[in-house]
């Protein structure tokens, strides 16, 4: 019996499924927030963490200054500090100067309406995470995520008092995060252990699985 019509039917069903999935996809990315590092790590892979260690001296003045329009690039991520008057302020600080966060060296900059901006390499990442602190313990840090000029998320994250850091991780549903901004009202925003993940985009997974399913069905039909 000729199986070609049945194979054509399967292919048409797969194409229709892909089209319907794309039409049903949300217009913008959905951002999931994780406050537990183990939960965030369980959903990511290929994680790169920038810990800022061995940059600031452990003697006076206990910091190294990157207050310029270029900022500093570490692990492919560019960090830049912007102040309210559009000048630049960014430092990697030794805990001997900035307080003991059980964190080692950390990045300090931004004073609302100023901010620290982290620009991710390439086309961005589907997941990022970091430890948050503030120069005045217990203040909120406003985190804003972007894909290009499109704002994906903005929210205030409450930080803990010394010596506890506040972990927060973000996962995007279908649009990579290309940059993130951090600011704190009435004090300096501080970040450490900035992490990005190589988690593949969901659309790529969907098309890959659909293609494999199509090949499997076609082989089964040919064998019959």
User: Which domains are assigned to the chain?
Assistant: 28-200 (2.60.120)
pLDDT of 200 reads 52
pLDDT of 212 reads 46
pLDDT of 16 reads 46
Q: Distance between the two ends of the chain, CA-based, in angstroms?
A: 9
pLDDT of 199 reads 57
pLDDT of 21 reads 46
pLDDT of 207 reads 44
pLDDT of 20 reads 42
Distance CA 21, CA 15 (A): 10
Enter the pTM of the model. 0.78
Q: What is the mean pLDDT of each run of 10 residues along the chain (224 residues)?
A: 53 47 54 97 96 96 97 97 94 92 92 95 97 89 97 95 93 96 94 86 46 52 58
pLDDT of 29 reads 79
pLDDT of 152 reads 97
| 8 A C-beta contact, residue 191 and residue 131 | yes
Distance CA 139, CA 162 (A): 11
């Amino acid at each position: 019996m000729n199986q070609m019509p049945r194979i054509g039917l399967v292919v048409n069903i797969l194409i229709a499924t892909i089209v319907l999935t794309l039409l049903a996809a949300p217009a913008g990315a959905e951002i999931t927030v994780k406050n537990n590092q183990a939960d965030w790590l369980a959903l990511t892979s290929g994680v790169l963490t920038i810990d800022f260690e061995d940059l600031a001296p452990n003697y006076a003045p206990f910091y190294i200054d990157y207050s310029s329009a270029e900022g500093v690039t570490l692990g492919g991520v560019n960090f830049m500090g912007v102040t309210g008057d559009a000048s630049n302020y960014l430092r990697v600080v030794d805990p001997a100067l900035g307080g003991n966060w059980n964190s080692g060296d950390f990045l300090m900059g931004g004073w609302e309406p100023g901010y620290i901006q982290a620009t991710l390499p390439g086309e961005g990442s589907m997941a990022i995470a970091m430890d948050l602190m503030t120069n005045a313990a217990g203040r909120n840090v406003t985190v804003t995520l972007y894909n290009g000029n499109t704002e994906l998320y903005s929210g205030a994250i409450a930080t803990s008092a010394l010596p506890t850091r506040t972990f927060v991780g973000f996962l995007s549903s279908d649009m990579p995060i290309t940059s993130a901004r951090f600011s704190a009202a009435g004090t300096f925003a501080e970040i450490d252990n900035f992490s990005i993940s190589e988690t593949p985009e969901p659309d790529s997974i969907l098309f890959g699985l659909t293609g494999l399913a199509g090949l499997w069905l076609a082989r089964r039909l040919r064998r019959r």
